[in-house]
Chains A and B, each alone.
Chain A
Amino acid sequence: MLDYYNVLDLLSSEERQVQSVVRDFLDSEILPHVADWWEKAEFPTHLITKFGEMGLLGANLPAEYGCPQVNNMTYGLIMYELERVDSGFRSFAGVQSALAMYPIYKYGSEDQKKSYLPNMAAGLTIGCFGLTEHEGGSDPDQMKTTARKVGESYLINGSKMWITNGSIADIAIVWAKDEDQIVRGFIVPTDTPGFTANKIQRKMSMRNSITSELIFDDVEIPVTNILPQAKGLSAPLACLTQARFGIAWGSMGVLESVYSDALSFSNIRSTFDKPIASRQLVQDKLVDMVVDHTKGLLLATRLAQLKDAGKMQYQHVSVAKRENARSALNGARSAREILGGSGITLDYSVIRHMLNMETVDTYEGTHDIHTLVIGRDITGQNALV
């Protein structure tokens, strides 16, 4: 692991072991194939149960629901390693863990937790999270999807957009407004009549992640499928805070990957009889990358310490997601530049990561939205409305 400031020395032996084991696993099982899957826009669904066996799904949730119950530092390290390989894999595991399992754990009934979480941890049940709609993601309160109570059922109507795992999910955590205009969360089995998932095609980013449109046409689910503790928009936003925590870590995995490619390439590639690594302008880019990685890793590590201590606030997560996603995007662009023409092929990781990071910088709160969240916190003035 790239660790210019010996940050790993701050971690426990178990945390370092998990990082090392997950890296070995991903380097063997995914890395040799990832560019092909990306090019073909395929997600290797056969690996999902392997992720489950390793304990990579819902890793920080309690053991009583079949999860490894590691701390948040360890969870962050897992996200780092997954995204070092490709953002699509962090996205898959992040959605399953933070956006499908976490809402059931946090807002679900005991029956719901026992019924869903063990199979989700094992990778036998796949989840997705339906909040964003066609009109935009930055203002989720404008959602049009409704849930109308009819007897002992709810009828869900509407649609969701940009839903990771949507077309491979067995259940969708769907956020809809009830007749009192209160946002509620529902566990929707995807084989329910009236539910349709359309895979979004022609993506030039996150190509090995499944992204879908979800359509609900009088989807009838029993009242027992409502998440009883989730009332209001704060519930899905709290789930997003969990997922953004993973992105803050994962982005630094991307930065390590593109930096490593750029460093090794610049030591091999020569111009005017000297390796380009000896050129000041190339060194400037490499230094920016390694300094940004060092800062981002420290930011993510401190964020995990705060989360493990129960002191993390959503604005802390905004700082780390905003900074780390952007610095990884910039680092990927710089690495692409250092690699020259080679940087546009899938033989190296940089173009894949660079295109993926356009998504990561945008979703789970854009850079600008996080700026305004932090701005609201430090000034007391809300520029979001």
Chain B
Amino acid sequence: MNIVVCVKQVMDPDTPISAFVIDEVEKKVVPAQGIPPVVNGYCENAVEAALQIKAQEGGEGTITILSLGTDFVMDVMKKPLSMGADKMILIQDEHVAELDAAGIVNVLSAAINKIPDVDLVLCGQQASDWDNAHIPMGIAENLNLPCITSALNIEHTGDKLLVQSALPDGYQTLEAPVQSLITVNNLFGEPRYPTLKGIMQASRKSPEIWSISDLGVSSSELEPFLILSELKIPVSEGNCEIIEGEDDADSGRLLALKLREEKII
């Protein structure tokens, strides 16, 4: 089975809040000094899912990592290759910064169409930078693929996939054609650590670098529907209130009442 995994390079979500800076005039997040970006966590889960499917197939097939961005840090982006993916295609283009979700969906869809013999597309459920979760479903819509979200397990049986998909209070098992798009999050399980051998093998693989103009996407497909008019860091206010009762038990009861009053519990 040939699998494409869409992967995004994001700002490290563990960046301390003191290092999180935005440029309100340019309406951009300023990359934190000295803190390298990371591969989006859910995308790593999606890579893990792809590796497990490939292992089920006895190692047959190809896992291609696909990413879109203005600038890539290769130390970071090679991680999926070090984990065991076979190939990587990076769509590196300065115009990416001007795209909204619809434009990104159109570019990624065109790129997937350009990759030969793709069976399955896997995506992280959402990216930890903006948390929009727009892209996977947009790609599925564009490519007319069935879409299953939040996979817990993916099994290839005959010409079908059996996918356990998480629900708020359990899971459902869905049958889907192999040609599908499936999103994955942390519920799938921990992504493996790259091994030293994996890193050394990945060092011999060079990513293919594409630009948007290679993909035959029309300018109208790149035109943003959404305009970012303002970007602000929310102002957070702290307030401390001491709840005092007649004894510890009474204090606890009053605290619980207060929390319920504030709709926290």
Contacts and interface: CB of A to CB of B under 8 A. Distances in A.
Interface of A is mostly: helix
Contact of A25 (B79, B82, B193, B200): B193
Nearest to A13: B75
Interface stretch (A38-46, A50-58, A235-243, A333-341): A50-58
Contacts of B203: 12-14
B16 to A, nearest CB: 11
B194 A17 contact: yes
Contacts of A16: 75
A153 interface: no
B251 interface: no
Contacts of A24: 193
A13 B74 CA distance: 7
Nearest to A24: B193
B197 A17 contact: no
B39 to A, nearest CB: 11
A16 B203 CA distance: 12
B78 A13 contact: yes
A282 to B, nearest CB: 21
B82 A17 contact: yes
B61 to A, nearest CB: 23
Given A14-B200, A70-B200, A54 B78 contact: no
A17 B79 contact: yes
A55 B197 contact: yes
B193 A17 contact: no
A74 interface: yes
A54 B193 contact: yes
B240 interface: no
Interface string A13-37: 1101110110011000000000000
Interface residues of B, number: 14
Contacts of B199: 14, 17-18, 21
Contacts of A25: 193
Interface string B187-212: 00000011111011011000000000
A69 interface: yes
Interface residues of A, number: 20
B195 A17 contact: no
Contacts of A55: 195-197
B75 A20 contact: yes
Contacts of A63: 197
A21 B82 contact: yes
A59 interface: yes
Contacts of B193: 21, 24-25, 54
A68 interface: yes
Nearest to A68: B196
Contacts of A21: 79, 82, 193-194, 199
A54 B197 CA distance: 8
A113 to B, nearest CB: 18
A384 B22 CA distance: 62
Contacts of A12: 203
A18 B200 CA distance: 9
Interface in B155-195: 193-195
Given A13-B203, A17-B82, A68 B197 contact: yes
Nearest to A6: B34
Interface in B64-121: 74-75, 78-79, 82
Contacts of B74: 13
Interface in A38-93: 53-56, 59, 63, 68-70, 74
Interface string B29-57: 00000000000000000000000000000
A133 to B, nearest CB: 35
B18 to A, nearest CB: 11
Nearest to A20: B75
Nearest to A3: B34
A336 to B, nearest CB: 25
A13 B199 CA distance: 10
Nearest to A75: B196
A53 B195 contact: yes
Nearest to A74: B196
A372 to B, nearest CB: 37
Contacts of B196: 18, 54-56, 59, 68, 70, 74
A24 B75 CA distance: 14
B19 to A, nearest CB: 14
Contacts of B78: 13, 17
- Between A13, A59, A74, the greatest number of chain B beta carbons within 10 A of the residue's beta carbon is seen for A13
Contacts of A69: 200
Interface of B: 74-75, 78-79, 82, 193-197, 199-200, 202-203
28 contacts: A12-B203, A13-B75, A13-B78, A13-B203, A14-B199, A14-B200, A14-B202, A16-B75, A17-B75, A17-B78, A17-B79, A17-B82, A17-B199, A18-B199, A20-B75, A21-B79, A21-B82, A24-B193, A53-B195, A55-B195, A56-B196, A59-B196, A63-B197, A68-B195, A68-B196, A68-B197, A68-B200, A74-B196
Task: Please name the 3 residue pairs, one residue from A and one from B, whose CB atoms are nearest each other, closest first.
Answer: A55-B196, A68-B196, A14-B203
Given A18-B196, A55-B195, A70-B200, 19 more contacts: A12-B203, A13-B74, A13-B75, A14-B199, A14-B202, A17-B75, A17-B78, A17-B199, A20-B75, A21-B79, A21-B82, A21-B199, A54-B195, A54-B196, A63-B197, A68-B200, A69-B200, A70-B196, A74-B196
